[in-house]
């Protein structure tokens, strides 16, 4: 294979789990911003995408991640809502993902939407790890902010440690009830055969270095070939949300998972009736590390490459649908692309 390593795209990571188990908080911790505070009713109602470049991952993970060991450019996280009424958004997030994090509250254990998320992951055969979240709530917990789990585990009393172990083994048992062989992540040799469980706290940041290291390692080890794309090729993506944007009219928040979109491209977008054929008016990029749905000041860019979240402004998008395919036409016959979008 003589392809340039820059043609490796960012793996797409869906964050799934039951309501209030800490999905947004976990991403928030990783982003180091306060998206959660702006969330109406603290419920995530819409999918958002967050790009975290490798150098940021490496600075959070410290000694655990040496950027020289990786050639994937980072991770693109998609937050999903845990509330029971948002099944479609969860499925959409799950279907888009190359890899996933299933967040489980250590106190609350497996709940209905935990099981629903597991079904989505099984159905789409998406490899995933379990983040056993809120370990800081174990009574008597002695927190070391942002520490790797092995370090913080050592500094707990025997009683606290066995309380945590109990909760973790219950989660491992729940996974085994679903015919999944699971273990604490540091005991897992083959992440394709076994589900790794990573104890974390979105509040204190403990275990977050481990979580990012495992996700990065898993992607590098098992996804690398799937991440090899023709970066310069015509873009392919999925609409996450259709939104009115002041000064731009109807826009589509899109996750691009293959190729490139340029600001002079013609697009075919899945519509409520027929596919929509339209010309890009502007590509609006949220700042790095910003969440696409809360970022109000966009930067206009000439072109973006997969994988990324991008807001596309174009005429005639009123009938565009969340979940619909987006395809760049470029040098191909329009009819062919329209047929592809119709078939999806």
User: Is 24 a residue that touches Mg ion (CB under 5 A)?
Assistant: yes
Structure tokens at 80: 């999903």
Which residue number has the CB closest to ligand GTP? 82
Q: Is 201 in the site for ligand GTP (CB under 6 A)?
A: yes
Q: x/- binding map, residues 274-313, to ligand GTP, per CB under 6 A?
A: ----------------------------------------
- Residue closer to ligand GTP by CB (options 79, 265) is 79
> Which of Mg ion, ligand GTP, none interacts with 21 (beta carbon under 5 to 8 A by kind)?
ligand GTP
161 binds ligand GTP (CB under 6 A): no
25 vs 305, beta carbon nearer ligand GTP: 25
Minimum distance from residue 113 beta carbon to Mg ion (Å): 12
Instruction: Choose the contact partner of 171 out of Mg ion, ligand GTP, none; CB within 5 to 8 A by kind.
Output: none
Nearest to 5 by CA among 70, 65, 99: 70
- Could you please report the per-residue DSSP string of 84-97? GGGHHHHHHHHHH-
Contact string (CB under 5 A) for Mg ion, positions 38-77, x = contact = ------x---------------------------------
Q: Work out which of 25, 91, 254, 305 binds ligand GTP, going by CB under 6 A.
A: 25
Pick from 241, 308, 249, 244: nearest CA to 280: 249
Taking Cα atoms as reference points, which of 250, 257, 260 lies closest to residue 281?
250
The Cα 103–Cα 114 span in angstroms is 8
Q: Does 83 bind ligand GTP (CB under 6 A)?
A: yes
Q: Binder to ligand GTP among 10, 91, 126, 133 (CB under 6 A)?
A: 133
- Strands 128-133 and 99-105, how do they pair? parallel
Residue 19: name its binding partner from ligand GTP, Mg ion, none (Cβ under 5 to 8 Å by kind): ligand GTP
Nearer to ligand GTP, 22 or 309 (CB): 22
Residue 200 neighbours by CB under 8 Å, 6+ apart: 26, 131, 132, 133, 135, 149, 206, 207, 208, 210, 211
Nearest distance in Å: CB 150, ligand GTP:
18
- Are 313 and 246 in contact by the 8 Å Cβ rule? The answer is no
By CB under 6 A, residue 50 contacts ligand GTP? no
Contacts of 103 (CB under 8 A, 6+ apart): 15, 16, 17, 18, 21, 22, 23, 26, 130, 131, 133
Q: How many CA atoms lie within 13 A of 166 on its CB side?
A: 9
Q: How far is CA 129 from the centre of its chain?
A: 12
Q: How far is the CB of 326 from ligand GTP (least distance, A)?
A: 25
Contact residues for ligand GTP, defined by CB under 6 A: 17, 19-25, 36, 42-44, 81-83, 133-134, 136-137, 201-203
């Amino acid at each position: 294979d003589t392809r340039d390593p820059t043609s490796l795209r960012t793996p797409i990571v869906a964050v799934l789990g039951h309501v209030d188990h800490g999905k947004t908080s976990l991403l928030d911790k990783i982003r180091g911003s306060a998206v959660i505070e702006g969330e109406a009713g603290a419920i995530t109602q819409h999918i958002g995408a967050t790009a975290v470049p490798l150098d940021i991952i490496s600075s959070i993970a410290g000694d655990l991640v040496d950027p020289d060991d990786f050639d994937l450019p980072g991770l693109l996280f998609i937050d999903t809502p845990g509330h029971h009424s948002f099944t479609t958004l969860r499925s959409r997030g799950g279907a888009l993902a190359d890899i996933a994090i299933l967040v489980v509250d250590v106190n609350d254990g497996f709940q209905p939407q935990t099981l629903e998320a597991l079904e989505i992951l099984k159905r789409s055969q998406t490899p995933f790890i379990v983040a056993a979240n809120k370990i800081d709530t174990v009574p008597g917990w002695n927190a070391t902010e942002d520490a790797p789990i092995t370090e913080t585990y050592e500094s707990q009393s025997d009683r606290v440690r066995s309380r945590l172990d109990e909760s973790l083994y219950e989660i491992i048992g729940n996974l085994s009830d679903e015919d999944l062989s699971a273990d604490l992540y540091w005991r897992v040799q083959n992440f394709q055969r076994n589900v790794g469980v990573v104890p974390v706290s979105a509040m204190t940041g403990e275990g977050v270095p481990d979580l990012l290291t495992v996700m990065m390692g898993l992607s590098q080890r098992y996804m690398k070939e799937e991440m090899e794309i023709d970066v310069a090729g015509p873009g392919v993506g999925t609409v996450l949300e259709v939104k009115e944007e002041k000064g731009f009219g109807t826009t589509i928040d899109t996750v691009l998972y293959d190729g490139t979109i340029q600001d002079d491209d013609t697009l075919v977008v899945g519509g409520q009736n027929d596919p929509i054929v339209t010309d890009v008016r502007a590509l609006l990029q949220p700042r790095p590390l910003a969440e696409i749905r809360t970022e109000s000041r966009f930067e206009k860019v000439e072109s973006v490459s997969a994988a990324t979240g991008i807001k596309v402004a174009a005429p005639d998008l009123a009938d565009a649908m969340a979940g619909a395919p987006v395809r760049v036409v470029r040098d191909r016959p329009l009819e062919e692309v329209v047929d592809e979008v119709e078939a999806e």
